[in-house]
Amino acid sequence: MASKSVQHGERHSTSTETVRDIVIGMSDGLTVPFALAAGLSGAVHTLHIIVIGGLAEIAAGSIAMGLGGYLAARTDAEHYMAELRREQREVDGKPEAESEEVRAVLVGYGVQPETARQATAEITGDRQTWIDFMMRFELGLEEPDPRRAPRSALVIAASYIVGGLVPLLPYMVASQVAVALKISIGVTLAALFIFGYVKARVSGAAPLRGSVQTVLVGGAAATAAFGIARLISA
């Protein structure tokens, strides 16, 4: 039974991390290319230029976001390993102090002093169990999945590309910039609304509020880009 519980926890953790990566990539993917395309629409009147600029931004943005996700995951793994080595040195070099820390953690969770003393003896009887306990319950750290960094990079980058193509597709099929801009605004705002709703549901926030906030952020960015481009090109 214990083994099944651990496996379930790992699946849940992986699922949560994947959803978080999708949210990170999709959020910027929908917003940044949308603002860029809208801004270019205010400065140029050639669909070809807007599409090329949008695709270039999606390529650069997905790479940058993917690398950011990779480095963040690598940093988490390096931090965990540094803390693990420190705990190993302390368990080997200061066993009495570390044993007292185990007892203090157990008491902090409401375990009775005598029971905590007995549990401490059991935990500290095995070096690996002792170190695992300190990492999890004293430091609050879980061992990172070694595949986390490349997987995070791919998920974030792919989500950025998918999100970025939403506001750009109208410019690929429309015949005029003005028409493409109107379609892009409608499609992207609808996508932002749906994305904000789903993101809020996943995070436990109010869905409608999340949708409105996401639409307002994306709309404000696009409006600002369009206005600045128009002002500069005037």
- What are the tens digits of pLDDT across the range 60-69? 999 999 999 9
Q: What is the mean pLDDT of residues 124-143?
A: 84
Distances (CA, A) of 151 to 12, 146, 198: 16, 10, 22
Task: Give yes or no for residue 231 having a pLDDT over 50.
Answer: yes
- Angle between helix axes 47-93 and 95-108 (nearest 10 degrees) is 120
**CA nearest 185: which of 209, 166, 160, 199?**
166
pTM metric for this prediction: 0.76
**CA nearest 158: which of 73, 31, 58, 71?**
58
- Angle between helix axes 113-123 and 95-108 (nearest 10 degrees) is 130
In the structure, what pLDDT confidence band is assigned to residue 1 with cuts at 50, 70 and 90?
very low
Q: What is the mean pLDDT of residues 83-93?
A: 87
* DSSP characters over 140-169: ---PPPTTHHHHHHHHHHHHHHHHHHHHHH
Q: What's the pLDDT score for residue 60?
A: 94
Number of separate domains in the chain: 1
**Which tens digits make up the pLDDT trace of 168-206?**
999 999 989 989 999 999 999 998 888 888 888 777 778
Residue span of the structural domain in which 39 resides: 22-233
Q: Is 83 a member of any domain?
A: yes
**CA nearest 40: which of 158, 170, 193, 161?**
170
Q: What's the pLDDT score for residue 53?
A: 92
Q: Is 121 a member of any domain?
A: yes
Q: What's the pLDDT score for residue 2?
A: 37
Please, what is the average pLDDT of the chain?
Answer: 84
Q: Is 167 a member of any domain?
A: yes
Q: What's the pLDDT score for residue 9?
A: 42
Q: Is 4 a member of any domain?
A: no
In the structure, what pLDDT confidence band is assigned to residue 207 with cuts at 50, 70 and 90?
confident
* DSSP characters over 81-132: HHHHHHHHHHHHH-HHHHHHHHHHHHHHTT--HHHHHHHHHHHTTSHHHHHH
Q: Rounded to whole angstroms, how far apart are CA atoms 93 and 181?
A: 67
Q: Is 17 a member of any domain?
A: no
The pair of structure tokens assigned to 218 is 């994306």
Q: Is 209 a member of any domain?
A: yes
Q: Rounded to whole angstroms, how far apart are CA atoms 67 and 75?
A: 12
**Which tens digits make up the pLDDT trace of 10-41?**
444 556 778 888 888 888 888 888 888 888 88
Q: Is 74 a member of any domain?
A: yes
Q: Is 103 a member of any domain?
A: yes
Q: Rounded to whole angstroms, how far apart are CA atoms 35 and 40?
A: 9
- Rg for the chain (alpha carbons), in Å? 25
Q: Rounded to whole angstroms, how far apart are CA atoms 127 and 101?
A: 15
Q: What's the pLDDT score for residue 206?
A: 84
% of the chain beyond a pLDDT of 70: 92
